[in-house]
Chain A
Amino acid sequence: MRSRRVALGITVLVSALVTVPVGVPAGASTQPAVRAEAANQTQILRVGVTQEIDSLNPFISITRTGTDILRTAFDFLTVYSQEDMSPVPALAESWETSEDKLTWTFKIREGMTWSDGQPITAEDPAFTYNLMLENEVARTANGSYVEQFESVEATDEYTLVIKTKVPQATMTALDIPVVPEHVWSTMSDVGAEPEMPMVGSGPYTITEFEEAQYTKMKANPDYWRGAPKIDEVHFIYYRNADAAVQGLQNGDVDVVNRLNPTQYDALKSDPNIELVQAQGRRFNEILINPGAATEDGKPIGSGNPALKDIKLRQAIATAIDSQTLVDKVWGGYAEPAAGYLPPIFSDFAWSPGDDVKREFDLDEANRMLDEAGYEMGPNGVRLDKQGKPLNLRLLAHAGTNIDENGGPYIVGWLKEIGINVTLEPVSDTQVNEDTTRGDFDLAFSGWNANPDPDFVLSLQTCANRPNAQGKGGTPDSFLCDEEYDRLYAEQLQELDRDKRVDLVKQMQEVLYDRATMVILGYDNVLEAYRKDAWEGFPLQPADSGVIMNQQGYWGYYGATPAGEGPVPTFDENGMMVSDSSGASDTDTTNAAGEDGGNTGLVLAIIGGVVVVLLVGGFLFARGRRRTADDRE
């Protein structure tokens, strides 16, 4: 009898376990389906993010998603404009520089408040920067910005004075969230997770964080630029990008980014989805090892010495066709190569003039190599000056589109000009380590450039090479060029923007000529949102930009629900231009959303019923079989 009781127990257990989750959809689906906007007019923007938040501490967070949220919660002294990412006033309404370019005086806007009602004064940025100067933990995320600071002081309630050790052109690009002194001065550990809700100064404040699940932000009604149109922004974490796309189609989230071309193309047929093809901040490149060395010039690594010859490098650059890579590897969702800085940064971007431009031409590349004395050896492989065949390794990131799919094209083109290339796909970290040590001939690389180009430009300076231990520094192409370094130092101290832009363009021309790297192209950022629920979002830059991961907060700040008038734009002072307040404020309930909701509910009920029937059937069959058994 005992065994029967056990069997019965198992049956009950199984059916309980099966029915509990299953009985649920009928009741539970009301939550995701019938959206809150219908219930109490709370308008929520649900953002699907595919990266986990490391921390919501503005001094610690370094991830894309973490900084994206923090940028929206804490304003900066100055922010990058929506229009073209030039620095515009934020907490500081104006600023001036001393004669010697070492003292910066920022005038802090009066009348702004933190989300808890306390006034924002010059003491707050002074506290934030000084904390970073004093406390190494506070320097974790944004330490590089304060490295050249001599002192920071609030001389009166609305005046902030920063003295720097050397002239710095990046002072209007301090990407440091300013925190409230009255909250953070009482924290014993600046590296700890801040308490919720967080006191902030941005268009939204962070109110709730659920580990690896979601982060909630509420509109800040006292935001000094004016309150956002919507009530809340929820960032919902997806570990799997395909699931995020499915979530967008189901209406679980309203906007997703970083789609791959396949996902993007698949969404084209969905009538409720609007697609955004934006210019990206990333440049992709092939590094050509020009003879890696440490910062004191000691050669390191195992690069092929033949590549020290600029003629050989230029010939390789001539034999790489960016347009083919754009079409075949990126499926057209990219822009062909020009200068070092991506075209999204329209003022700093440079493209080679006709006099210096290298058009893709295999015959020309062959001619260049013939001229430079690389004789064709047996098997169609040229010989270097020592008579050894030109065999090169091409280090690639395994699993990365451009590396895996672009690699074979590059191998093919170089074979045409008599260079034998072996593609070596390895893990990302392996690529990083090998390139840092100089253990490569050719390697795929790429960086996300910032609106202020200083950082990516610094990558190609002599000073950025590793130290004797092969540590420190994040070398890129191991270029060490006198002219480039001179221009680099000059632009860093040039406070006139037009003159600086000119210097930066000259630097890119030098890079292009030295050919220690070949730009392959700039891939687009692909985003999608529900157009049945959303009118749109302010893009950055305004004509070809992104919604998410902006260098600022315009996209989330100006989120406009469907039927609530035009999407705002922001002028050169960062103020909202086309404010639609009062325009078409008729209560447009989101018809599509509600439709979807009801369908979802019905389907959920059907789903629940089906599973209950299945379980019931299973139990019934079991019962019948038992009687059948008993009869035997």
Chain B
Amino acid sequence: MSDILTPTEEALAEAPPPTRGGGALRYLLTKAGGGLVSLVLVIVLGFLLFRVLPGDPVLTMTRGRPASKEQIAELEAQLGLDKPLIAQFFDYLWRLLQGDLGESYVFRVPVTQKIMERLGPTLLLVGTATLIAVALGLWLGTRSAWRRDSRFDKVSTSVALALWSTPTFFLGLLLMAATSGWFPTAGMVNSDTPPDFFSQAVDVAHHMVLPTITLVAVVYAQYQLVMRSSLLEEMGADYLTTARAKGLRDAMVRRRHAVPNALLPTVTLVFLHMGFVVAGAITTETVFSWPGLGLLTYDALEKRDLPLLTGTFIVLAGAVIVMNVLADMLYRVLDPRVRAS
């Protein structure tokens, strides 16, 4: 997860472009244009990346079962793999322009359909977990910074760091074993739950408990640490002394003056993370067999399902790019210093 911190820091370090009158639109266009360029790169890369990987999809599909040469040739023709790479690329571009991501080799259905099917479960699980993690992280981070070096600070920071460093699959299996029998071990809903909405919703919630706890435990630390350190930076600031001098209560000083200023980096981080929310949490989804996008990506990689891999790659990378652009915009709204220069 630590890699995720870097783009934020970079984004923060980058000086906002100097803007003159009508700079808002220009700023917006620059950022959107940058996003667009990235997206085009992603589209090209998405095609090339998975095709330079070793592994012939047809060989992988036919390995270990009766398949004659004729059948292999037939499969290649069916999947369009007998054409030269460049022709395949233009096929792919042309279809992509029409919003078609191609057809999965393994499932034999349109990739778009497959992704849409899996998007819901992922957004539900990772969205919920992110909201909880953000709330928990911000609250703990604020408290530990305000009472720096208190027992609370020491304990909560070490717990957060310990959980952050725990391998996700290990934590997931541990939770599963520790709560043996309390929660379901796989999927989103039981196969024999009545089809009415209430029973289904209740069952889904029941299935969500363990994966949500796992996800929250592993990611909340970064929100806490960023919040803590940015609040610490504000702690010595003159305006806080001024606020105190005005006779404001300590809690008021924190809430009204320190926290809003310290929130800036954290909010950016949260937004950047929203992009990764779509990517799901591959490990968590794998441990709990949660039928989301992360699981789909993992399976597609294993089976060399190139169109599906490319499709998920574009969607996941696209989400990150869009959120990045949004974070840039939001940063401008939040921080007057970006606007005025």
Task: Say yes or no for B107: interface residue by CB 8 A criterion.
Answer: yes
Find out whether the CB atom of A193 lies under 8 angstroms from the CB atom of B109. yes
Chain B contact residues: over half helix, strand or loop, or mixed?
helix
- Shortest Cβ distance from residue A536 to the other chain B in the assembled complex, whole angstroms: 23
> Is A55 among interface residues, defined by CB-CB distance under 8 A?
yes
Residue ranges of B at the interface with A (Cβ–Cβ < 8 Å): 53-56, 59-75, 77-78, 106-109, 117-118, 128, 131-132, 135-136, 138-139, 169, 173, 176-177, 179-193, 199, 202-203, 205-206, 208-209, 212, 249-251, 255-256, 259-260, 285-289, 291, 295-296, 298-299, 304
A459 (CB) vs chain B CBs: closest residue: B66
Nearest neighbor of A215 in chain B, beta-carbon distance: B191
Q: Is the CB of B289 within 8 A of A31?
A: no
| A630 near B299: Cβ-Cβ < 8 Å | no
Q: Determine whether the beta carbon of A213 is less than 8 Å from that of B180.
A: no
- CB nearest neighbor in A for B208: A21
Q: Are A212 and B66 touching (Cβ within 8 A)?
A: no
Cβ of A332 within 8 Å of any chain B Cβ, yes or no, is: no
Cα separation A427 to B302 with both chains bound (whole Å): 10
B131 to A: closest C-beta gap in Å: 6
Q: Which chain A positions have C-beta within 8 A of B131?
A: 13-14, 17
Contact call A21/B136, Cβ cutoff below 8 A: no
Contact B185 A238 (CB under 8 A): yes
Which residue from A4, A145, A191, A630 sits with its C-beta under 8 Å from B66? A145
Which segment of A430-438, A501-509, A541-549 sits at the interface?
A430-438
Asked if A448 CB lies within 8 Å of chain B CBs, one says yes
Does A310 have its Cβ within 8 Å of any Cβ on chain B?
A: no
CA distance A101 to B90 in the complex (A): 50
A-B contact pairs, 6 of them (CB 8 A): A216-B191, A239-B298, A243-B185, A250-B181, A604-B183, A632-B251
Residue among B72, B117, B176, B179 making CB contact with A211, cutoff 8 Å: B117
Whether A3 contacts B66 by the Cβ 8 Å rule is: no
Whether A249 pairs with B192 at a CB distance below 8 angstroms is no
Question: Do residues B173 and A242 form an inter-chain contact, with CB atoms below 8 A?
Answer: yes
Closest beta carbon of chain A to B48's beta carbon, Å: 17
Q: Which residues of B contact A20 (CB under 8 A)?
A: 205
Residue pair B55, A147 in contact (C-beta under 8 Å): no
Kindly identify which residue among B75, B107, B212 contacts A54, using a CB–CB cutoff of 8 Å.
B107
**Chain B residues positioned under 8 Å from A473 (CB to CB):** 69, 72
Check if A36 is an interface residue, CB within 8 A of chain B.
yes
Q: How far is the CA of A450 from the CA of B67 in the complex (A)?
A: 13
CB atoms of B65 and A237 under 8 A apart: no
Chain B residues with CB below 8 A from A517, complex form? none
**B67 proximity list for chain A (CB < 8 A):** 143-144, 474
Tell me which of A14, A216, A244 has the highest count of chain B C-beta atoms within 10 A of its own C-beta.
A14
Identify which of A74-82, A132-140, A272-280 touches chain B.
A132-140
Bound CA span A604–B59, Å: 47
- Nearest opposing residue in chain A for B302, CB measure: A428
A630: B residues at CB distance < 8 A: 249, 251
Chain A residues contacting B250 (CB-CB under 8 Å) are 629, 632
CB pair B295 A239 closer than 8 Å: yes
Q: Is the CB of B199 within 8 A of A139?
A: no
Q: Are A238 and B186 in contact (CB under 8 A)?
A: yes
Q: Is the CB of B74 within 8 A of A433?
A: no
> Which B residues are CB-close (under 8 A) to A430?
54-55
Q: Which residues of B contact A629 (CB under 8 A)?
A: 249-251
A243 close to B186 (CB less than 8 A): yes
| Contact between A243 and B181, CB atoms less than 8 A apart | no
Let me know if B54 and A429 touch, CB within 8 A.
yes
The answer to whether residues A433 and B251 also contact, given A3-B259, A62-B65, A247-B186 and a CB cut-off of 8 A, is no
* A12-39 to B contact mask, C-beta < 8 Å, 1/0: 0110011011101101110110001000
Residue of A nearest to B135 (CB): A14
Report chain A residues within 8 Å CB of B132.
14, 17-18
Stretch at the interface among A152-160, A298-306, A366-374, A595-603: A595-603
Rounded to whole Å, the gap between the CB of A15 and the closest CB of chain B is 9
Question: In the complex the two chains form, is A432's CB within 8 Å of B63's CB?
Answer: yes
B209 touching A432 by the CB < 8 A rule?
A: no
What is the CB-to-nearest-CB distance from A375 to chain B, in angstroms, rounded to a whole number?
38
Determine how close the nearest CB of chain B comes to the CB of A151; give it in whole angstroms.
18
Interface contact A143-B192, CB-CB below 8 Å: no
Tell me whether A600 and B182 are in contact (CB under 8 A): yes
A455 and B295 form a contact (CB under 8 A):
no
**Interface size, chain A (Cβ < 8 Å):** 87
| Residue of chain A at shortest CB distance from B173 | A242
Residues of B near A60 (CB, < 8 A) are: 108
In the complex, which residues of chain B have a beta carbon less than 8 angstroms from the beta carbon of A454?
A: 66
A7-B208 in contact given A238-B186, A239-B295, A243-B185 (Cβ < 8 Å): no
- Residues of B close to A57: CB separation below 8 A: 108
In the complex, A21→B291 CA distance in Å? 18
Q: Does A586 contact B (CB under 8 A)?
A: no
If A239-B289, A240-B173 are given as contacts, then 20 extra A-B residue pairs at C-beta distance below 8 Å, sorted by A number, are A17-B128, A21-B128, A27-B202, A31-B193, A31-B203, A32-B184, A55-B106, A60-B108, A62-B65, A140-B75, A145-B66, A147-B68, A213-B191, A216-B191, A240-B186, A240-B288, A242-B173, A246-B173, A472-B69, A474-B62
Cα separation A7 to B206 with both chains bound (whole Å): 28
With a cutoff of 8 Å between Cβ atoms, the chain A residues found around residue B64 in the complex are: 447-448
Task: Tell whether A467 is near chain B: CB-to-CB under 8 Å.
Answer: yes
How near does chain A come to B281, taking the closest CB pair, in angstroms? Answer: 13
Known: A31-B193, A432-B59, A604-B182. A7 touches B255 (CB 8 A): yes
Cβ of A537 under 8 Å from chain B: no
Q: A147–B212 Cα gap in the complex (Å)?
A: 51
Q: How far is the CA of A450 from the CA of B64 in the complex (A)?
A: 10
Contact pick for A246, options B56, B70, B177, B256, CB 8 Å? B177
Measured between alpha carbons, how far is A257 from B188 in the docked complex, in Å?
A: 22
Instruction: Provide the residues of chain B in CB contact with A447, threshold 8 Å.
Output: 64
Known: A3-B255, A18-B132. A147 touches B192 (CB 8 A): no
Q: Chain A's nearest CB lies how many Å from the CB of B209?
A: 5
- A472 & B66 in contact (Cβ 8 Å cutoff): no
Q: Which chain B positions have C-beta within 8 A of A494?
A: none
B206–A249 CB distance below 8 A:
no
**B108:A433 contact, CB within 8 angstroms:** no
Distance between A21 CB and nearest chain B CB, rounded to angstroms: 4
Q: Is A214 in the interface zone, CB < 8 Å from B?
A: yes
Q: Assess the B205–A24 pair: CB atoms within 8 A.
A: yes
Q: Which listed residue, B54, B108, B190, B296, touches A32 by the CB 8 Å rule?
A: B190
Q: How far is the CB of A17 from chain B (nearest CB, A)?
A: 5
Which of A3, A44, A54, A237 contacts B106 (CB under 8 A)?
A54
| Residue from the list A136, A193, A243 in contact with B176, Cβ < 8 A | A243
Question: Would you call A385 an interface residue if the criterion is a C-beta within 8 Å of the partner chain's C-beta atoms?
Answer: no
Asked whether A144 and B71 contact (CB < 8 A) given A239-B289, A432-B55, A432-B56, the answer is: yes
Q: Give the chain A neighbours of B296 by CB distance below 8 A.
A: 212
Are A607 and B179 CB-contacts (below 8 A) given A139-B71, A432-B59, A629-B249? yes
Query: In the assembled complex, which residues on chain A have CB atoms less than 8 Å from the CB atom of B74?
Result: 136, 139, 143
Closest chain B residue to A467, Cβ basis: B69
Complex: A137 Cα to B79 Cα, angstroms: 11
Tell me if A13 and B135 are in contact (CB < 8 A): yes
Known A28-B206, A243-B287, A467-B69; contact A632-B199, beta-carbon cutoff 8 A: no
Is A489 on the interface with B (CB-CB < 8 A)?
no
For A4, the chain B residues whose CB sits under 8 A away are 255
Q: How far is the CA of A127 from the CA of B282 in the complex (A)?
A: 43
Whether B78 lies near A246 (C-beta < 8 A) is no
- Judged by a CB distance under 8 angstroms, whether A52 is at the interface is yes
A436 and B56 CA atoms in complex are apart in Å by 11
Given contacts A239-B295, A246-B177, A604-B182, contact A429 B55 (CB under 8 A): yes
C-alpha gap A29/B181 in the complex (Å): 9
Shortest Cβ distance from B63 into chain A, in angstroms? 6
Give the Cβ gap from B82 to chain A, nearest Cβ, in Å: 10
* Chain B CB within 10 A, most for which of A193, A450, A473, A474: A474
Indicate whether A417 reaches chain B with its CB closer than 8 angstroms: no
Cβ A433 vs Cβ B192 within 8 A: no
Bound CA span A147–B74, Å: 12
CB neighbours of B169 from chain A (8 A): 240
